Amino acid sequence: MRITVKYLCIILLLTTTVALHAQSLSNLKNSSPVTVNGSLGLNSAFYNASGIPDRQTPFSFGVNANATLTVYGISMPFSFTWYSNEKAGFRQPFNQFGISPTYKWLTVHLGYRNVSFSEFTLNGHTFLGAGLEAKPGKFRLAAVYGKFNQTSQYDLIMADSIPKLTRLGWAAKIGYGTEKSFVDVSMLRIGDNTKNFIPYEDPDLPVPAQNMALGLTSRISLTSKLVLNVDGSLSFLTSNSSLGTSDTINDRLLEYASNLITINSTSQRFSALKASLSYNFSKNVISGIEYRRIDPGYQSMGSYFFNNDLEQITFNQSVSFLESKFRARGSIGMQRDNLDGAKNSTSKRLIGSISGNYTIDENWALDLSYNNFSTNQKAIKNIADNSLMVYQVNHNLLLSPRFMKVTDGFSHLVMLNLNWMILNDKNTQTSDMTDTDTKVAMLMYSLGLPKQKINMSLGANYTKMVNQNYKNQLAGGTLSLSSSLLKDKLSINWNNAYMLNKLNGENGRIFNTALNSIYRFLPRHSVTLNLSLIKNSFADTSVIPSYNEIRGDLGYAFTF
């Protein structure tokens, strides 16, 4: 449906806030001005359960609406729901307004935006403000300024509320090159606004902080086959800027940072580095090495999270041969923490994986993967309790052969998945609680009859999980049927699963069946009917409850 009344657009833009993606201004003349599409639905649902408390009301009905307003190719979705069981709500997921128009090599950011300069400086943190990105020729220039946090107060009624200070800052980047080979230098300075700040009596509540980070990111083709990637950063963080400036600074780098942020007894300097070197022996053989080191406590106010206190080195290899029918990838390396020695122990991990794919012919293929991750914790300070020591090995082996044949009249697919997972705890004091052996096997056959518009699948699966405290076995099968009838006006899906469950010697049965159908009549109208049954049966003396549960819903939808 096309809406040509320009005032509707103005009203909606003034009364709602939305997030808009970047759009090239050069394409505006080819875009539709304003359009609205969506759906309006009526639903009723029923529920019945025996053996367990009801998990929803026996009967409910309601209305739901979804609409998407499109202004010159920019989409803004909305939704509304109301149900008789007092569940209602208006959801407008794009609740932050922002736009990033582009003209040739220049992009302007306005409103709520997120931009990335490097992994360790500005990396996707949402801000409210303005920014520019320019790429004239091979130059790579960018700058942003805005609010990275909005002031919020602690609310006793809202248990998960977190008090925040207004956080303002800027970031800039200058670089040269192309996407294949470049050098970028980035910098950010972000801090909490101390205007009208009243110190909290509770030490757990926030105090104003400041951060400056410098980053160097580059990708350099040393030769036509040898490529070097480097991403490094220094971050200066003052945890409490309200204490004022320190008279003595014993670190030259912190002294340099004092030109832009407050440096005092709460100030710290962190570093992060990621570097990789890869060599293409040929299009079928690529070797590489990667090193990563992130100081304990590393932070950047331009990013949400870092997995810090980490150092690792990995060797990577990928090969393909037999005219690319066989492809394999593998890596092995070491990882450790406690880089500053502040913890009571150091954890060392052997990390390794290998995976391969072999396309035997047009019908047969095979996937294989193996992962081995081990954790070895070495004490560097006296630990009297050996139960705190960690030395674990995780093994994961996956084998998946498959057969597929497609013709004009039918399609066959047979797939087998075999998965073996082992957690082996080398600590004798904790192994009885953590050692776990899990085996999973699944066999599936699918038949498609495109001319008859029928699909059918049969499956069998088996799972065995063994631990010192429990032993659980599941075995059963699945059956699914789907079809389109009445000249594709009616679609039906029927799914069934039957499982035998044996948990610590107690036997049970689980049966699930579900029917989903939709009937489309007239150009924009449809009716849906969904039914499901769960039947969980265990002995009367079992601690696991037996229950039956039936759900159903009937709905009508009109699309526009």
Residue linked to tokens 């309006």? 40
pLDDT tens-place string over residues 420-454: 998 877 565 665 667 889 999 999 999 999 999 99
pLDDT at 212: 97
What is the structure's pLDDT at 78?
A: 72
Decide if 73 contacts 98 (C-beta within 8 A). Answer: no
pLDDT at 155 exceeding the cut of 80:
no
Segment 451-463, tens digit of pLDDT: 999 999 999 999 9
Compute the mean pLDDT over every residue in the chain, rounded to the nearest whole number.
85
Of the two residues 56 and 184, the one the predictor is more confident about is 184
Q: Are 504 and 525 in contact (CB under 8 A)?
A: no
Write out the two tokens for 214: 């410098």
Identify the weakest region by mean pLDDT among 173-182, 384-393, 527-536: 384-393
Nearest by Cα to 536 from 169, 51, 164: 51
Question: Which amino acid, residue 181?
Answer: S
Instruction: Report whether pLDDT(336) > 70.
Output: yes
Tens-digit pLDDT profile for residues 6-50 = 333 333 333 333 444 455 555 656 666 788 889 999 999 999 999
Does position 86 have pLDDT exceeding 70, yes or no?
Answer: no
More confident position, 385 or 552 = 552
Q: Which of 6-10, 82-86, 488-492 bottoms out in mean pLDDT, i.e. has the lowest?
A: 6-10
Residue bearing the bigger pLDDT, 20 or 560: 560
Among 154-158, 268-272, 364-368, 488-492, where is mean pLDDT lowest?
A: 154-158
Q: How far is residue 211's CA from residue 225's CA, in Å, rounded to a whole number?
A: 39
| Cα 351 to Cα 372: distance, rounded to the nearest angstrom | 6
Contact 553, 527 (CB under 8 A): no
Is the pLDDT at 380 greater than 70? The verdict is no
* Structural contact between residues 379 and 345, judged by C-beta atoms closer than 8 angstroms: yes
Range of lowest pLDDT (144-148, 369-373, 374-378): 374-378
| Rounded average pLDDT over 89-108 | 70
DSSP letter assigned to residue 265:
T
Rounded distance between C-alpha atoms, residue 35 and residue 70, angstroms = 5
Angle at 177 between CA 173 and CA 181, to 5 degrees: 115
Q: How confident is the model at residue 4 (pLDDT cuts 50, 70, 90)?
A: very low
For a pLDDT cut of 70, what percent of the chain falls above it? Answer: 82
pLDDT given at position 36: 87
Q: Where are the beta strands (DSSP E) in 337-428?
A: 345-359, 364-379, 391-406, 411-425
- What is the 3-state secondary structure of 102-134? EECCEEEEEEEEEEECCCCCCEEEEEEEEEEEE
Residue with tokens 């229950």: 547
Q: What share of the chain is helix, strand, coil (3-state, %, to 5)?
A: 5, 60, 30
Q: How far is CA 397 from CA 51, 402, 417, in A?
A: 39, 17, 11
Burial class (CB in 10 A: 0-12, 13-18, 19+), 365: middle
pLDDT at residue 34 in the model = 84
**Tens digits of residue pLDDT in 193-212:** 877 666 666 666 778 999 99
Helices H / strands E in the chain, number of each: 3, 29
Determine the Cα–Cα distance for residues 384 and 470; give it in Å rounded to an integer. Answer: 30
pLDDT in tens, 287-313: 999 999 999 999 999 998 888 899 999
Question: Is the pLDDT score of 389 beyond 70?
Answer: no
